[in-house]
């Protein structure tokens, strides 16, 4: 499905990002993996025969360096970008009126501004491919309004909104932009989530039970393929039917 397509995945050192990377590698993609966690990211890249680029999504210069690398390497061509990197841990369980302003700003800087800047940095290489695809990893929490998670919910709602605007701005270059909105997945990033919230998802899904990261990776892979252009601008809740969009 992805033979001959070069794809960049951010936040690929662990959790969902690493699972996405493994799935894309199995489908023939030539991968560039990026993360702030260099040791873990390089280990995943080595395991998959991929290349690794360090990136701090909170630092514009770091993101620009990734963009410069894309221009220098591989004839400046990139076929896909998965904006998966985000702050998701250590920010839940806090009422809206107790969130520290510094914490709020950090989440918005990485999850929202980082997604915008990474897309901007990758856009020239995506345009050069003639069939660029961007998949933004959002969250279904922004669809149903999860409580005590306000900064994360707001950031992922912004990612959904940006997906639609990016689809219109990049569409003339035949770049398709979509978003996936998972629910709670069984990764280390959700270990802090109260058992009651896990149970709410497991019992409330149309397909009951827990959801592993591998259950959404095939969807991401399809959205990165040449045949997915007609879905541009769409936000797909990939949550086994917990919430419908």
Please, are residues 32 and 24 in contact by the beta-carbon 8 Å criterion?
A: no
- For residue 192, the model assigns a pLDDT of 61
User: Which contiguous run of DSSP H or E holds residue 134?
Assistant: strand 133-137
| Residue 177: strand pairing partners | 134
Q: At what angle do helices 15-26 and 214-223 cross, to 10 degrees?
A: 60
pLDDT tens series, the chain, 245 aa = 899 999 999 999 999 999 999 999 999 999 999 999 999 999 999 999 999 999 999 999 999 999 999 998 877 999 999 999 999 999 999 999 999 999 999 999 999 999 999 999 999 999 999 999 999 999 999 999 999 999 999 999 999 999 999 999 999 999 999 999 998 876 666 666 677 777 878 777 888 888 888 889 999 999 999 999 999 999 999 998 888 87
- For residue 109, the model assigns a pLDDT of 98
User: What is d(CA 20, CA 16) in angstroms, rounded to the nearest whole number?
Assistant: 6
Catalytic residues: 152
* Residue 114: count of CB within 10 angstroms of its CB: 26
How remote is the C-alpha of 201 from its chain's centroid? Answer: 21
Please, are residues 78 and 132 in contact by the beta-carbon 8 Å criterion?
A: yes
**CB under 8 Å to 178, separation ≥6 — which residues?**
133, 134, 135, 136, 163, 167, 223, 228, 231, 232, 233, 234, 235, 236
* Residue 145: count of CB within 10 angstroms of its CB: 11
Please, are residues 125 and 76 in contact by the beta-carbon 8 Å criterion?
A: yes
Domains of the chain: 6-236 (3.40.50.720)
How remote is the C-alpha of 140 from its chain's centroid? Answer: 13
- For residue 196, the model assigns a pLDDT of 74
**Structure tokens belonging to residue 199:** 């149970």
Instruction: Give the start-end residues of each E strand in 67-131.
Output: 80-83
Read off the DSSP letter of residue 76: G
Give 40: exposed, middle or buried? Use CB within 10 Å, 0-12, 13-18, 19+. middle
How remote is the C-alpha of 22 from its chain's centroid? Answer: 14
């Amino acid at each position: 499905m992805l033979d001959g397509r070069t794809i960049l995945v951010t936040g690929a050192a662990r959790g969902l990002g690493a699972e996405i990377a493994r799935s894309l590698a199995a489908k023939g993609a030539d991968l560039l993996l990026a993360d702030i966690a260099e040791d873990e990211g390089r280990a995943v890249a080595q395991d998959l025969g991929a290349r690794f680029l360090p990136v701090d999504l909170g630092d514009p210069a770091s993101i620009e360096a990734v963009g410069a690398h894309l221009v220098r390497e591989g004839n400046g061509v990139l076929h896909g970008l998965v904006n998966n990197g985000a702050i998701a841990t250590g920010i839940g369980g806090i009422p809206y009126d107790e969130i520290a302003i510094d914490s709020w700003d950090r989440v918005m800087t990485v999850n929202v501004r980082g997604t915008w800047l990474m897309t901007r940095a990758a856009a020239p290489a995506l345009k050069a491919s003639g069939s660029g695809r961007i998949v933004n990893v959002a969250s279904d929490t922004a669809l149903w309004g999860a409580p005590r998670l306000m900064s994360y919910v707001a950031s992922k709602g912004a990612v959904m909104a940006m997906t639609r605007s990016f689809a219109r701005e990049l569409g003339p270059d035949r770049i398709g932009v979509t978003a996936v909105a998972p629910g709670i997945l069984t990764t280390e990033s959700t270990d802090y989530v109260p058992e009651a919230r896990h149970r709410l998802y497991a019992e409330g899904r149309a397909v009951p039970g827990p959801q592993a990261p591998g259950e959404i990776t095939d969807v991401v892979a399809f959205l990165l393929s040449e045949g997915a252009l007609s879905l541009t601008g769409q936000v797909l809740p990939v949550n086994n039917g917990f919430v419908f969009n």
